[in-house]
Every structure is written in C-alpha cells, then in structure tokens.
Amino acid sequence: MNPEEMGRLLVKHGFIKGNSQKKYKFSDEKGSFIAKEGETSHKDADMEYDEEANIEASVAADFTNYLPTGYPTPARRYRVVLEASKLNMEETYYWILNFMRQDAAFPYVDKITDVFSASEQSAMWGAAQTRMGMQQDRASQNLRSISDMVKQLFQVVRELRILDEKLEPRKKWKESKAADVALKAEYADLVERVGGQMQPGGVFQLAQQVGYTALPDLFFNTHIYRLEDIDKVIDDMKYNKNLRQVLRRKLFAFLNWKLKTDKELKTRRVFLLKYLRQHWNIIKTLMNWAKPYLRNIARMQMSPEHMDSPDIVGAFETSMMEIELLAYKKPNKGDYHPCVLTTFKYRTRPELSFQQDNYAHRGPIHVGKVEVTFRAYGWTKKQMDAYRKYKRDEDMLLLGLVDSSVQNAMDALGEELETYLWEAGEKEFEEKRKAKEFAEKKKEKAFEKQMAVGMIDPFISIFKGFWEIFSLFAPSGIFQKSSAGKISGSSSDAANAASGAMFNAYKYYKKAHGMLSW
C-alpha cells in the first residue's frame, strides 16, 4: 500500500491527528470515521514517520527523509537487528513472546499479522503454492454458490414486491371505493380474459349485446363486501330481470374470487418470507464457509513488498516472514491499557537437518537475519479493536470481496430486503430497524425541543445572565458537569508503563544474546 492509502485507512479507523479530529465523525452505519465535509485526507492520519523506512524502501535520493511506516505514532520505539549465519529464528520470537507474557506481566497477546514469502525456485514456495491451490478450489466453489444464491435473491424479493402490490388494494378494499374498482378491473383483465382474448361471458363482452350495455357501469359502481348482501342489493335495483341476474352472477363470482385469492396470496407471501429467510441464512453459511479459505489464501499469498525486495532472489533458497504481536494488560486505573506492539521481520534461509542413522527428516531450521521493532501505546479497548480492523483491512482484502458483493446486492435491493427479512424474523435487521426508528424519534423530539426553546429563548437568556454572575462568586468545582460516561485515565501514563516494560524486553534481549547494552 502507498502512503496515501495507508493514511486514509488509518483515518477511517480513528487514528487521526488531534487538530484534525473535528473534521471527522463516527458513522454507526458504516462502522468507521467519515469526513463531515469533502473526502478523507491521508494528511490527517496520526502516522509514524521513520528514517529507517526510507532505507528499507531503497530510495536513492535523500536518505535523511522520513517516510511513513503505516503505524500510528507511538510514545516510544526501539529496534533490534540481529544477523548471524547460524541464528535460530524461532528462538528470537519465542524469547520475546515468553518475556512479555511472564517477566513483563503482559498476559494478553494477540497475533495481528503473519505473512510468509519465499523465492520462486525454493522448495518451500512449491509446497505453499500446492496447498494454496487446494484452498483456492474450495473457495471458488463456495463463491460460485454465493453468486448463484444472490441472483436468486433478486427473484424472491421481486416476487414479494409483486405480491405486496397485489395485496395493497385488498387491504384497503372495504375502506376505499377506488380499491374496489381496481380489484374489479384486475378481475375483468385476468380472470375473464384467457390467452389475451375476452371470454363470451365477460363483463365487457356482454356489454356489446343488446340489453346489457349498462352492465359494466353497474358492475364497477355497485360496492358489496359480503356474499350475503348481494341478493338484497340486487333485488332493490330497478332494472330488468335479465340484467340483474347477470349482475348478480358477476358480483358473486368477483367476491368469491377476491375472498379465495386473499387467502392464497397471504399464504404464498408467508411461504416466500420463510423461503427468503432460509435463502439468506444459506448465503451467510456459505460466506462463513468461504471466509476461512479466503483467509488462508490471503495468508499464503506472497507479499508483493517482500517479493520485490532485493533481499529475496529467485534462484536462492530464501524466504521472508513478517509477524506482529500486540501485548497488553489491564490498566491500573482508567480505561487506557498499556500496549506493546512488536513487529518481527525475518530474512531467512531454511536449513534441513537429518539423522545419520536412518536419515529421517527432522524439519527445517530458519537461519539468517531478524529485525525486531517495539512500539509503545496507551490505547482503549476501542482503539485496540480499531487497530485490529485496520490491519485486517490492510492484509485480508480478499475477505472484503465476499462481504462487498453481498453488500452491493443489498444496496441494489434497497430497504425492501431488510424489511422482508425483519418480517421473517431475522434479529439483526430487527435491531437495526429499532435503532433506525429510535434515531428518527430522537430527531423529532430534538426538533420539537428546539422549537419550544426558540419560543421562550428571550426569557431563558435573562436567567442565564443571572446564573453567570452568580457562578463568578461561587467556589470552583461546584457547578462543573459530571464526567460520568467519559473515558477516564491518561493515554500518556499507560504508554509510559508500556515503555518501561518494552525497554526491559529490549535491554534484556540484547544482554541475553551477547550484544552491547547498558
């Protein structure tokens, strides 16, 4: 990722400079920070700039320039580089992991990143590609099934939409004469017309015969809602007997059709809602099945940054690894946790060892160079979760393809899909719908309150003036607002605690491995 993409991604997850935080707000709908006006700028990101990043990027111009690393600005940072021809890579990783857990008393350790890359001609690259091919086959099958299910989703929602259109006049049938006329027109067009041709006994067909010209007017303007009332209404009409008999027959057939099809359409709608819910659950199940394969593929793919690095040569048996650990512990007071972010970058050469008696394979030992970078932070739980999401968005882009494809389908279907799933009993949409209704009611109450305050504002201003004068003579702290609900503690105090533990890990690792230390 280039610096602009990294900056925008950091801003999206809340790592924003102090003077730029007022430009952004958190969106509950998107679950990230968005700009209040305009677009997100990478210049607003609270990103670490490092001189060593310039050297690693092999920039030939000015090596004194500081380049962005893609990490939030730490309180303190240490770096150790160890290179030896017979260095055991696993020992460095587990030494620091055990020190942070036991000696530094950071019991919670999360693995954030685990990326492996190997040269194209190495044996490990061939084995990794074979395994990745198996994962890709399984993932492609699930993705194909998801694509087919999403296509069928459009058809189910469309059928439900057509059913709702048919049921709308039926719901208002007894309340509106227009609904009754619309249903009678539907009856004349659909039931009395077969193969596009009007039947001989149809209302409009009979109107062409002598004596039945008034039949369509009587049929559409006679509003009866029960079968039992037909005879009473028809008998009171002052028309000839044959016309009344035909009208009686047509109204009875229409009412019978309407009442029977009501039950049929309602039953079909209930069935379609249950089918839609089942369909949606199958899509979610297939997504859950596909995500582990996509996650494995993303982790097994070779990093472009590593493959383009001069440290990897295609003809050499070399590999590169990048591992990142987030160690943290509970705060002594407040909500800020001391956090130590440790990044391992390996340039290794696998060495196979054999037993001389029966030549049984023991497995590879990775030897070469390791760079360990420690960074100290004081983060809340939300900030730690935001950093995990940031690294997931950065490294696991394939997972977004599945979520975005289903999300795009939901956006295309609009709120109707959510409404139907809510009716079918999906709790996730029920909670979302309740939250939306609560937000709308809150806006209405705020507007009403604003209107009410606007009317009595001149009177309130007088009391505010007296209050300000009185508060000048009152002891300080009496009229301060309560800080309940706010984040307590200090980020700098938590970061200083993490810096002390981080320095001990840095110092004792150097001592344990014979390096110059103090």
Do 156 and 279 touch, CB atoms closer than 8 A? yes
Residue 97 tokens read as 């992991």
Q: Give the pLDDT confidence of 358-407 residue by residue, as tens digits.
A: 555 455 555 678 889 999 999 999 999 989 888 877 554 444 555 555 55
The DSSP symbol for 60 reads -
Helix/strand/coil for 333: coil
Q: Average pLDDT, stretch 425-438?
A: 64
- The answer, yes or no, to whether residue 60 has pLDDT greater than 70, is no
Contacts of 150 by beta carbon, 8 Å cutoff, 6+ apart: 283, 405, 406, 409
Task: Give residue 499's pLDDT.
Answer: 93
User: Are the CB atoms for 187 and 251 separated by under 8 Å?
Assistant: no
Rounded CA-CA distance 308/500 in Å is 36
The neighbour count for residue 48, using CB atoms within 10 Å, is 17
pLDDT for the residue 326 = 94
Report the Cα 379 to chain-centroid distance in Å.
23
pLDDT reported for residue 357? 52
293 pLDDT exceeds 60?
Answer: yes
Residue 303: DSSP 8-state: P
pLDDT reading at 317 higher than 80 = no
Which pLDDT band, with edges at 50, 70 and 90, does 55 fall under? low
Better pLDDT: 483 or 78: 78
φ, ψ for residue 81, nearest 5 deg: -120, 125
Given a cut of 70, is residue 505 above it in pLDDT? yes
Can you say whether the dihedral through the CA atoms of 32, 37, 38, 43 is positive or negative?
A: negative
Q: How many CA atoms lie within 13 A of 15 on its CB side?
A: 28
Mean pLDDT to the nearest integer, 427-431: 62
Residue with tokens 């500081």: 66
Indicate whether 172 pLDDT > 80: yes
Q: Could you give the 3-state DSSP secondary structure of residue 505? A: helix
Q: Is 359 left (phi over 0), alpha (psi -120 to 50) or beta?
A: left
Mean pLDDT, residues 1-6 taken together: 75
More confident residue, 414 or 387: 387
Terminus-to-terminus CA distance in the chain, angstroms?
38
Where helices occur in 192-337 by DSSP H, the ranges are 203-206, 215-221, 230-235, 241-300, 304-307
Domain boundaries along the sequence of the chain: 1-73
Average pLDDT over the chain, rounded to an integer: 75
Q: What is the spatial distance between Cα 113 and Cα 505, in angstroms, rounded to a whole number?
A: 20
